[in-house]
């Protein structure tokens, strides 16, 4: 496993301090984010999953706790849209340059509007995908918001 990914390179270039959290990725896990939290012995609400969606047909990146589901209604409202839906995996991979299960909000091929669930601010450190399957990065929620220029919002159902 490489410790340098487009995500970790983007964090390093931005001068953001982060910690690597490699784990054994299970592609057959019913919920990959929960599997990552369990593998690392971390609380599921501190491990955030990165999802790609569309609001009124435009791509957005959504970062929510691994034990939660995204509210499409809240997501659409966050970006001033009328409707939201999950992006097809192949489209998400093409847009971000990351494989599903390894999508990071950092270092994506094309920068898109990003929203991070407001519960991230409850922690000194959150774990977010580091750009490949089996690698999370730990960083402060403030840094995660700053590097992605994210909106903080209530995004969960």
Residue 21 sits in a domain whose CATH number is: 3.90.960.10
147 in a structural domain: yes
Question: 45-97: per-residue pLDDT in tens?
Answer: 999 999 999 999 999 999 999 999 999 999 999 999 999 999 999 999 999 99
1 in a structural domain: no
86 in a structural domain: yes
Q: How far is C-alpha 68 from the geometric centre of its chain's CA atoms?
A: 13
Backbone angles phi, psi at 84, to 5 degrees: -140, 150
| Residue 65 near residue 122 (C-beta atoms within 8 A) | no
Per the structure, the complete domain to which residue 17 belongs is given by: 6-153
| Residue 118: Cβ within 10 Å count | 14
143 in a structural domain: yes
Kind of pairing between the strands at 47-55 and 151-153: unpaired
94 in a structural domain: yes
Number of domains in the chain: 1
pLDDT for residue 2: 62
93 in a structural domain: yes
87 in a structural domain: yes
SS3 135: strand
- Cα–Cα separations (whole angstroms), residue 149 to 38, 61, 103, 110: 29, 11, 17, 14
pTM as predicted? 0.94
């Amino acid at each position: 496993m490489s410790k340098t990914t487009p995500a970790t390179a983007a964090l390093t270039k931005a001068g953001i301090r982060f910690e690597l959290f490699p784990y054994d990725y299970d592609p057959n896990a019913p919920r990959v984010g929960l599997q990552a939290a369990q593998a690392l012995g971390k609380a599921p609400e501190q491990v955030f999953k990165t999802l790609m969606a569309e609001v009124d047909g435009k791509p957005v990146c959504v970062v929510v706790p691994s034990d939660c589901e995204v509210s499409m209604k809240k997501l659409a409202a966050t970006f001033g849209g009328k409707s939201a839906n999950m992006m097809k995996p192949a489209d998400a991979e093409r847009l971000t340059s990351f494989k599903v299960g390894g999508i990071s909000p950092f270092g994506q091929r094309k920068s898109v509007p990003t929203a991070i669930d407001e519960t991230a601010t409850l922690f000194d450190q959150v774990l977010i995908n580091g750009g490949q399957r089996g690698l999370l990065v730990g960083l402060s929620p403030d840094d995660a918001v700053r590097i992605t220029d994210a909106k903080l919002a209530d995004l969960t159902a």
